[in-house]
């Protein structure tokens, strides 16, 4: 009996100790489960939140900090990331890499988004742009329709105020010598940088001595409605035209396609790509067109006459005065800015626009000294229409 009780007791004891152990573990495992669930919940909430934030920041193109923190985990390719213009014009590409990148062209003609076509104003300068205040007035109110690029001497440190349209528009530059291939290379560099913005449809080369002759709306209309690009290209007999041709350029370049034209051009996107991607004519001109062959007057006009003659208007949009003779055109200062001067420009001989004769032939003019700025600003409404 005793032993039974004893054994029972010991059994009870054993039971007891077992239940004791069970009750000891029970609260622990529930707590563990609660912890796990809590972590799981936090995890789900957090990942949902961050996915939403990534999507939000990609769509809204804001909060770059959030974007850069989360995108490596949730990388999403979007059309937006391909068509958005580069946020900074600075880059680490050399010309080989830049030209390659800039020559990439979509093979489907129709854009699957609403593309607002812009004019790229490309300023080829030594340093400062003294007539900047006039240009600022010209651009004002047309922010969606243009972009600006500046190529200057690499040593030049720009100091445009933060509110200026020229601020931060400097492209990585190299020295360009007048009449040498380095000048054409600077122009190609400007084109290539401007091509990186897919919205740029027309590309105009200007200098710091250029002014617009009409308001923005008139210039945009003239260029966007033109069937041709305004690259000066004439077949000029005599020593300063055909006389500069070197037969070593054949068969890539024959004398019949040899052209001369003003350095200051306007080209559309197709021609800009043609210029940037060129590997056929560049070596020929570099080797066989050296002073007294001024390559910036021949390379693009000749090359495009061979490649795309039907797209060229064969005239420039930039008025210049060679009447005083010499190697450089006339420069105009304070005393020149008057009614007769602008009358003289508008009364230039007629030209052809979309196969029709017109008296409106020039949209820009050069060369203007810094002293011209004052009177130009004072009378811009009367003389220039803005
Ligand atoms: C640019 O860099 C690439 C790779 O380093 C090189 O092959 C090419 O020759 C460089 N181009 C120029 C113009 O320096
Ligand atoms: C572009 O805009 C037009 C009208 O403004 C609209 O009908 C069309 O759906 C838009 N297309 C795209 C791809 O956003
Ligand atoms: C130049 O002339 C040669 C010989 O007549 C011809 O083979 C070549 O295609 C011509 N080049 C161009 C660019 O027309
Ligand atoms: C420009 O000149 C080329 C030949 O050099 C010609 O084919 C083209 O039709 C000319 N453009 C215009 C608008 O006349």
Q: Could you read off the pLDDT tens digit of each residue along the chain, which spans 386 residues?
A: 344 444 444 444 444 444 444 445 555 566 767 767 776 666 655 565 555 454 444 444 444 444 444 555 566 889 998 889 988 999 999 999 999 999 999 999 999 999 999 999 999 999 999 999 999 999 999 999 999 999 999 999 999 999 999 999 999 999 999 999 999 999 999 999 999 999 999 999 999 999 999 999 999 999 999 999 999 999 999 999 999 999 999 999 999 999 999 999 999 999 999 999 999 999 999 999 999 999 999 999 999 999 999 999 999 999 999 988 888 899 999 999 999 999 999 988 899 999 999 999 999 999 999 999 999 999 999 999 99
Q: Name the residue at shortest CA distance from atom 6 of ligand 1.
A: 96
> What pLDDT is stored for residue 78 in this prediction?
92
Return the ligand 1 atom nearest residue 95 CA.
Answer: 13
> What pLDDT is stored for residue 19 in this prediction?
43
> What pLDDT is stored for residue 82 in this prediction?
86
Q: Are residues 249 and 368 in the same domain?
A: yes
Q: Are residues 337 and 291 in the same domain?
A: yes
CB 311 less than 6 A from any atom of ligand 3: no
Q: Name the residue at shortest CA distance from atom 4 of ligand 4.
A: 309
Backbone angles phi, psi at 213, to 5 degrees: -100, -10
CB 313 less than 6 A from any atom of ligand 4: yes
Q: Are residues 379 and 237 in the same domain?
A: yes
Mutate to test the pocket of ligand 1, among 96, 101, 283 (most ligand atoms within 8 A of CB): 96
Q: Are residues 151 and 230 in the same domain?
A: yes
Q: Name the residue at shortest CA distance from atom 3 of ligand 3.
A: 251
Backbone angles phi, psi at 312, to 5 degrees: -105, 135
Quick check: is 380 in a domain?
yes
Q: Are residues 322 and 180 in the same domain?
A: yes
3-class SS of residue 42: helix
Quick check: is 267 in a domain?
yes
Q: Which ligand has its closest atom nearest to the C-alpha of 280?
A: 3
> What pLDDT is stored for residue 17 in this prediction?
44
Return the ligand 2 atom nearest residue 114 CA.
Answer: 1
Quick check: is 59 in a domain?
yes
Quick check: is 112 in a domain?
no
Contacts of 52 (CB under 8 A, 6+ apart): none
Quick check: is 116 in a domain?
no
Q: Are residues 72 and 135 in the same domain?
A: no
Q: Are residues 160 and 65 in the same domain?
A: no
∠ at Cα 194 (188, 200), nearest 5°? 130
The residue out of 63, 84, 105 marking a domain boundary is 84
Quick check: is 103 in a domain?
no
Q: Are residues 141 and 78 in the same domain?
A: no
What total of structural domains would you count in the chain?
2
The residue out of 26, 57, 84 marking a domain boundary is 84
> What pLDDT is stored for residue 30 in this prediction?
63
The pTM of this model reads 0.83
The residue out of 64, 84, 104 marking a domain boundary is 84
Pairwise CA distance, residues 99 & 102, whole Å: 5
Q: Name the residue at shortest CA distance from atom 6 of ligand 3.
A: 251
Q: Are residues 234 and 369 in the same domain?
A: yes
Element (H, E) at 120: strand 118-124
Q: Are residues 157 and 78 in the same domain?
A: no
| CA nearest to 123, candidates 99, 163, 150, 159 | 150
- Which protein residues touch ligand 2 with a CB less than 6 Å away? 112-114
CB 174 less than 6 A from any atom of ligand 1: no
The CATH number of whichever domain residue 220 belongs to comes to 3.90.550
Quick check: is 374 in a domain?
yes
Q: Are residues 380 and 246 in the same domain?
A: yes
> What pLDDT is stored for residue 13 in this prediction?
42
Element (H, E) at 147: strand 146-151
The residue range of the domain holding 358 is 122-384
The CA-atom distances, in angstroms, between 235 and each of 115, 273, 303, 306 are 37, 24, 13, 13
Quick check: is 100 in a domain?
no
Return the ligand 3 atom nearest residue 306 CA.
Answer: 13
CB 96 less than 6 A from any atom of ligand 1: yes
Q: Which ligand has its closest atom nearest to the C-alpha of 94?
A: 1
Q: Are residues 161 and 212 in the same domain?
A: yes
Ligand 4 centroid vs 153 CA: distance in angstroms?
A: 35
CB 95 less than 6 A from any atom of ligand 1: yes
Q: Name the residue at shortest CA distance from atom 14 of ligand 3.
A: 254
Helices (H), the chain: 2-60, 64-70, 79-83, 95-102, 132-139, 181-195, 216-224, 269-277, 282-288, 299-307, 339-346, 373-378, 380-384
Q: Name the residue at shortest CA distance from atom 6 of ligand 2.
A: 114
Ligand 2 centroid vs 117 CA: distance in angstroms?
A: 15
> What pLDDT is stored for residue 3 in this prediction?
43
């Amino acid at each position: 009996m005793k032993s039974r009780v004893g054994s029972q007791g010991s059994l009870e004891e054993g039971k007891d100790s077992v239940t004791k152990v069970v009750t000891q573990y029970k609260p622990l495992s529930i707590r563990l489960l609660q912890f796990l669930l809590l972590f799981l919940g936090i995890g789900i909430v957090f990942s949902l939140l961050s996915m939403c934030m990534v999507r939000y920041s990609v769509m809204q193109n804001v909060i770059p900090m959030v974007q850069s923190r989360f995108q490596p985990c949730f990388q999403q390719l979007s059309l937006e990331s391909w068509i958005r213009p580069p946020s900074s014009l600075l880059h680490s590409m050399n010309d080989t890499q830049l030209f390659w990148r800039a020559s990439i062209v979509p093979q489907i003609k129709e854009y699957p988004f609403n593309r607002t076509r812009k004019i790229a104003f490309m300023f080829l300068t030594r340093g400062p742009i003294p007539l900047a205040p006039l240009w600022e007035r010209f651009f004002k109110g047309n922010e969606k329709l243009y972009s600006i690029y500046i190529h200057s001497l690499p040593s030049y440190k720009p100091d445009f105020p933060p509110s200026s349209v020229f601020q931060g528009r400097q492209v990585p530059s190299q020295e360009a010598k007048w009449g040498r291939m380095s000048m054409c290379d600077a122009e190609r560099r400007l084109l290539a940088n401007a091509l990186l913005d897919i919205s740029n449809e027309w590309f105009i080369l200007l200098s710091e001595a250029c002014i617009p002759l009409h308001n923005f709306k008139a210039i945009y209309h003239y260029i966007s409605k033109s069937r041709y690009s305004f690259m000066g290209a004439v077949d000029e007999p005599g020593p300063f035209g055909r006389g500069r041709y070197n037969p070593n350029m054949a068969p890539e370049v024959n004398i019949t396609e040899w052209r001369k034209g003003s350095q200051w051009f306007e080209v559309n996107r197709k021609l800009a790509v043609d210029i940037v991607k060129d590997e056929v004519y560049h070596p020929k001109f570099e080797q066989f067109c050296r002073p007294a062959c001024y390559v910036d007057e021949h390379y693009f006009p000749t090359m495009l006459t061979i490649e795309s003659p039907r797209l060229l208007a064969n005239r420039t949009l930039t008025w210049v005065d060679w009447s005083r003779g010499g190697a450089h055109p006339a420069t105009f200062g304070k005393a020149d800015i008057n009614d007769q001067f602008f009358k003289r420009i508008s009364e230039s001989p007629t030209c052809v626009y979309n196969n029709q004769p017109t008296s409106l032939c020039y949209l820009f003019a050069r060369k203007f000294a810094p002293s011209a700025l004052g009177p130009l600003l004072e009378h811009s409404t009367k003389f220039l229409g803005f």
